[in-house]
Structure 1
Amino acid sequence: MNHRSSLAGMLFAAGVTLVATTGAPAAAHPFGPPTLARVAVDGARVDISWQPAEDDWVALGQSLGAFEDPTTGPVATQLTGEQKLQGSTAVRDYLRERITVSQDGQPCRGELQPLDALLAQGARLTFDCPAPVSTLDITVTALTDLNPAYRTVLRAESATPAESLYTATDGTHQVDFSRSGGGPAPAAGLAVGITAAGGLGALLLVLSRRRTRSTR
């Protein structure tokens, strides 16, 4: 059994145990490390991956009815917990509703990618915005409806701020992608500086040689 299959089995077992013994989605990790999300832009396209821990997937799946309740009926064992999450319409709708992007007050059209690698890659969403991206309002409110102690850290490539903390009371942040810390403009400026420095060094070398010859 590979690592991913093992995690899927653990997720299923944890889901059944959680439903049977606690009945509370918040029994996962609301007070643990924050969930990580990553965002990257390319023109008018925005890609976001949201990566909660396995037990937080269990809590979410239980709250949305993705897992059967063994106290009220049989539990299907031919599917892993990961597969039940992947096949849940409620889970997919939840992710679309609680991870959104808007540009200048207009929502960007979002598409949830297949949840084939849910444990390894998290939930992946792609957004098409009306215009090339400069500034975006990104909303992440997943899990905070289960327990307000949940938090998500959003990391943005070449953006300001580079990290944003999402909480139950602060679920939307504006992220500016127009100023990259290492984009083409600074690199071009550095190249010009190097060229100028090289030219100055060559000029000083010529002057030095001329001065030496004149004193001989």
Structure 2
Amino acid sequence: MTFRTRLAGALLAVATTVAVPAAAHPFGPPSTARISVDGSHVTISWLAAEDDWVALGQSVGAFENPVTGTVSTALTGEQKLQRSAAVRDYLLGRITVAQGGKPCPGRLESLEQLVAQGARFTFDCPQPAVDLDVTVSALTDLNENYRTMLTAETPATPAQALYTARQPTTRLRFTASGGGTPTAVLTVAAGTAGAAALIGGFVLVRRRRSASAVI
């Protein structure tokens, strides 16, 4: 059974019962997210269960209300989610990245392949990513029992973080930004190499002087 078929079935259940929170799974496995950084560029992928996408879409009006009107079958439920400006605004307002207390400009990529790839965000911060405040509060406005488990694909502390209604923001410290060795490390390495070369040269000169004295 394809996702579109399952999503259509979930939409039908929602249309029949008109009970959005009941169609979702706030007590099931948490949604998941992945974050990676490359220099000052940050990417996040947020993946939710199919029925949770239905609940989200219904809550922001991405689907027609069968009580007040006809439900169009010209588009699948997935297509309605993809084309909904309200869905995009919702996601951009609830999954954010900040650096130094200031938000990093973000954008939401295409919502194609929601189940396989989730909602994909990119953020451009002013400085290379070291300390970032990452907020994930999607779905918790529907039910406070929702949560998201985020995993850092670029080495970070913590490597994983659980987001809840009470803890929507976590500070992540990245130890490698994927854009090369940090400047401070390069500076120390260069200084160490220079000192080693200087010491090596000094030892070589002393050895030559000692040899001359013996001759």
Instruction: Give the shorter-chain TM-score range.
Output: 0.7 to 0.9
Deviations 1:158-177 (Å, cap 9, x if unpaired)?
11111000000000000010
Shift of the alpha carbon at 1:178? 2.2
Runs of 4+ in 1 over 3 A off after TM superposition: none
2:168 is equivalent to residue 171 of structure 1 = yes
Deviations 1:112-150 (Å, cap 9, x if unpaired)?
001122222100000000011111000000000000000
Do 2:40 and 2:124's aligned partners in 1 also have CA atoms closer than 8 Å?
yes
Do 1:38 and 1:48's aligned partners in 2 also have CA atoms closer than 8 Å?
yes
Deviations 1:14-39 (Å, cap 9, x if unpaired)?
12321321423353100000000000
Aligned to 2:121: 125
Do 1:28 and 1:56's aligned partners in 2 also have CA atoms closer than 8 Å?
yes
Do 1:112 and 1:125's aligned partners in 2 also have CA atoms closer than 8 Å?
yes
2:135 is equivalent to residue 139 of structure 1 = yes
Residue 33 of structure 2: which of 32, 37, 52 is its match?
37
Deviations 1:24-66 (Å, cap 9, x if unpaired)?
3353100000000000000000000000010100110111111
Could you say what the CA RMSD is over the residues aligned between the two structures, in angstroms? 1.8
How many residue pairs match? The answer is 179
Shift of the alpha carbon at 1:9? 2.2
Aligned to 1:62: 58
Do 2:36 and 2:44's aligned partners in 1 also have CA atoms closer than 8 Å?
yes
Residue 151 of structure 1: which of 131, 147, 169 is its match?
147
Report the TM-score when normalising by structure 2. Answer: 0.79
User: 2: CA distance between counterparts of 1:12 and 1:66?
Assistant: 14
2:83 is equivalent to residue 83 of structure 1 = no
Shift of the alpha carbon at 1:74? 1.2
Residue 17 of structure 2: which of 11, 14, 21 is its match?
21
Residue 93 of structure 2: which of 90, 97, 102 is its match?
97
Report the TM-score when normalising by structure 1. Answer: 0.78
User: 2: CA distance between counterparts of 1:26 and 1:36?
Assistant: 20
Deviations 1:61-104 (Å, cap 9, x if unpaired)?
11111111222211111211100000111100000000000011
User: 2: CA distance between counterparts of 1:24 and 1:11?
Assistant: 14
Q: % of aligned pairs identical?
A: 60
